[in-house]
Amino acid sequence: MDTSRWYRSFAEVEARGNSAIYEEWGLGVSEDPAVLALIDRLPEPRRQPNLIFGASRHLGAPVAPYASFRRWLSENWSEVEQLARTRTTQTNEAGRAAVLLPVLGLLKGPLSLIEVGASAGLCLYPDRYSYLYDGEKYLHPVDGPSTVLLECATTGSPPIPERVPDVVYRAGIDLNPLGVGDTDDMRWLESLVWPEQDHRRWRLRDAAALARVDPPHLVRGDLTSAVADLVERAPLGTTIVVFHSAVLNYLTPTARAEFVHTVRGLPCHWIANEGLGVLPEIDAQLTESPEVRRGKFVVSLDGTPQGLAGGHGQFLGWTNQTCTASD
């Protein structure tokens, strides 16, 4: 993809309304031939705006207008380039558990959770977080309120369960598992959170602290090759759930199809929370208008859409009206 267009699209579609600084930086880079020439020295996947901006902030770039950022970037490009060649965008957002919870609530426990593309595994603790839906409905872990409260606005009456799920086994797969106890990994995850989103940075710290008490079992590997082994290791008598969020966009369409074929052949349920367009055969079942769908994630269970979600779990519009809170 043309790098200038990539940064403009990032600014106008992803950053606008979410991060004024990243919007300004994205537009600035898109019109700056000298900076574009630096970025174009990287292999295409490494030119990603989130990666370059995250690496810059990790190394101390000022959260300041484009002219200051540009000056800093020119002076520090070799370090940014090195970091962008070694790290990848592995944003781990515990908030996504709030849009997975109603789907998990449809399944009979106890549950064995297997997350593919887990990053540091923070989405593997839906039973350890507290939830607040629509500013009024709280749900807490069985032993009381959590240090992590996930807030989610809903429409369409998702079936919010009365209790958090009973999770008896949790494991994850990632090409590069991050360690909740590894200071540099955690600093990297913080650098990936957009500048103005302090609430997400606090949530990340709190969720990581909670996970450090009982760190997740994460294996290094490709999701399609490694998933069957983890499913096989799940305890007998449990409902096995393979899930993922914001992961399959990293795969080619052919690799996505291979993963879907693999997971559908395993004795497990499959929950996907992916951006619109990532799993077209699931999107094709949506009846919502293109305006309603735009920019949302599609939450599905066993290949059937259940809802449209905010990318960080901040809202959930339930679309599967055969199964709502009043059922």
Ligand X SMILES: C[S@@+](CC[C@H](N)C(=O)[O-])C[C@H]1O[C@@H](n2cnc3c(N)ncnc32)[C@H](O)[C@@H]1O
Residue 228 interacts with ligand X (CB under 6 A)? no
Among residues 11, 80, 99, 246, the one that binds ligand X under rule CB under 6 A: 246
92 vs 146, which CB is nearer to ligand X?
92
* Tokens, residue 137: 């409905």
Judged by CB under 6 A, the stretch of 78-86, 106-114, 193-201, 247-255 that binds ligand X is 247-255
Angle between helices 49-58 and 66-86 (to 10 degrees): 100
Interatomic CA distance for residues 84 and 59, integer angstroms:
11
Among residues 3, 29, 58, 93, the one that binds ligand X under rule CB under 6 A: 93
Closest to 121 measured CA to CA, from 140, 96, 158, 153: 96
Residue 123 interacts with ligand X (CB under 6 A)? yes
Residue 90 interacts with ligand X (CB under 6 A)? yes
Residue 316 interacts with ligand X (CB under 6 A)? no
Residue 320 interacts with ligand X (CB under 6 A)? no
Q: 3-state DSSP call for residue 322? A: coil
Interatomic CA distance for residues 296 and 306, integer angstroms:
13
Please enumerate in sequence order all residues whose Cβ is within 8 A of that of 3, keeping only pairs 6 or more positions apart, or say none.
36, 39, 40, 47
35 vs 301, which CB is nearer to ligand X?
301
Among residues 42, 63, 106, 175, the one that binds ligand X under rule CB under 6 A: 175
Judged by CB under 6 A, the stretch of 141-149, 163-171, 229-237, 241-249 that binds ligand X is 241-249
Interatomic CA distance for residues 63 and 194, integer angstroms:
10
Binding site for ligand X (CB under 6 A): 88-93, 96, 116-119, 123, 173-176, 222-223, 244-247, 250-251
